[in-house]
Amino acid sequence: MLELPILFLDEHILAVNKPAGLPTLPDGYDKGAPCLINLLKQQYDRVWVVHRLDKETSGVIVFARSAEVHRALNIAFDSREVSKVYHAVVIGVPEWDEHTIDLPLRPDGDRRHRTVIDRQLGKPAVTRLRVIERFAQHTLIEARPETGRTHQIRAHLAAIDLPLAGDDLYGGKGATALIARTALHAYTIELEHPATHQPLHVEAPYPPDFTQALRQLRGQ
């Protein structure tokens, strides 16, 4: 059984550092393929999904351990009371240090089932960006999505010509020598604990492939 890195655990909440390549939910075409929720249920009995990460995205993901906590967390996410920070390696070097993308998104908007910018039919979507470190042809960026649209960060970055390294679907081709998957990591999540009502901050260390990509860019 795959050993999942547990970042936080009590009787109410379970937070995991999801490995890249592992889907959050069962595959619609291959019900028997490994997925995060089924692996967790084997170890922790009943677990409720609160939010998701793309299959190729690594990092912190939170689950509820009771129906009551599940409801409370759903309300917190829907009310935008949860703060999520992602770290992304993009192709390109922007001149700005901070930037906000406010572009409406529509999922499954083309033949490749991508999320697309759609100013008429799209739903509001806002992502705040900050440069962490610049390299010759890439940049490490902090992304704070204020909304939770499908592929929001990937679509927004592609829309400003800064596609994620390794993201073939949204234009980040030719970066497999750097990283063999979408270079997106869910770094932190902050929320109010639904039982204690205390602030909860959970941070997910970079996985080896993300760390190695940064070392390569730094020439280490």
Q: Rounded distance, CA 96 to CA 201, Å? A: 28
Residues 6+ positions from 212 with CB-CB distance below 8 Å = 179
Q: Burial, 1: exposed, middle or buried (Cβ in 10 Å; 0-12, 13-18, 19+)?
A: exposed
Helices H / strands E in the chain, number of each: 4, 12
Which residues are the active-site residues? Answer: 54
Q: Rounded distance, CA 92 to CA 207, Å? A: 23
Residues 6+ positions from 16 with CB-CB distance below 8 Å = 4, 5, 6, 7, 36, 40, 60, 61, 63
